[in-house]
Amino acid sequence: MSWQAHLLNAWLRLTEKPFLSRATNPAVLRASFEVKAALFFRAPWGTKCVRRDLAGLPALWLSRSQTPGTPLLLYFHGGAHVFGSPRTMRATVAALAKRAGIRAVLPRYPLAPEAPFPAAIDHCMASYRALLDEGVDPAHIIVGGDSAGGNLALALLGQLCVEGAALPAGVFALSPLTDMTFSGASIQRNATKDVVL
């Protein structure tokens, strides 16, 4: 692990972990996350970022110079279903899209507690269908997400399979929130080791 990663992990353990454990107001969490993402993370040079609605809610569309037929990453941000936004993952997803040579769209989805289950999953499904309605070939769509967004990506795939709908070319989930009881062995074993959660 690099010295930068060691430094970042120590900083997260000393600042973010205690902050998250004390937070009781979703608005405070959201505002803090937005500010920190804007201050610390930058999209790769040359990334074009356009704000345009998808399925009735704002979305960030990221590209470089790819043509419309280039594969499209439909990416759902993390944040425990309570915070986070397309802006907080813009830099990470832009870097991922650059390395893969693809375009990306990060839709905003309804957050809890204001929008209880299944509002987020319903909107993710609506986002996927909106892409198909716009003429995007499902064979050109890759669905992904991190944490709660990984949960949504997997839930979307499950729903598409149940419905027998057109499937995307691929799906991935980065550290997905899949154990809603928080009782799995890895959660228990890593409770004191994880630098944030």
Q: Give Cα separations from 82 to 28, 77, 158 (angstroms).
A: 11, 11, 22
Q: What is the pLDDT of residues 146-183, one digit of tens each?
A: 999 999 999 999 999 999 999 999 999 999 999 888 88
Q: What is the pLDDT of residues 47-103, one digit of tens each?
A: 999 999 999 999 999 998 767 678 999 999 999 999 999 999 999 999 999 999 999
Q: How many domains does the chain have?
A: 1
The pLDDT of residue 138 is above 70: yes
What's the predicted TM-score (pTM) here?
0.90
Say if 90 falls within a structural domain.
yes
pLDDT at 12: 83
pLDDT at 197: 66
Looking at every residue in the chain, the average pLDDT score rounds to 91
Using a 10 angstrom Cβ sphere, with 0-12 exposed, 13-18 middle and 19 or more buried, the burial of residue 123 is: buried
Say if 116 falls within a structural domain.
yes
Say if 27 falls within a structural domain.
no
**The domain that contains 103 carries what CATH number?**
3.40.50.1820
Say if 5 falls within a structural domain.
no
- Cβ neighbours for 148, distance < 8 A, ≥ 6 positions apart: 76, 77, 78, 79, 80, 81, 84, 120, 177
For helices 26-40 and 86-100, angle between their N-to-C axes, nearest 10 degrees = 40
The share of the chain scoring above pLDDT 90, in percent, equals: 62
Say if 115 falls within a structural domain.
yes
Say if 73 falls within a structural domain.
yes
Say if 192 falls within a structural domain.
no
Say if 195 falls within a structural domain.
no
Range of the domain at 145: 40-181
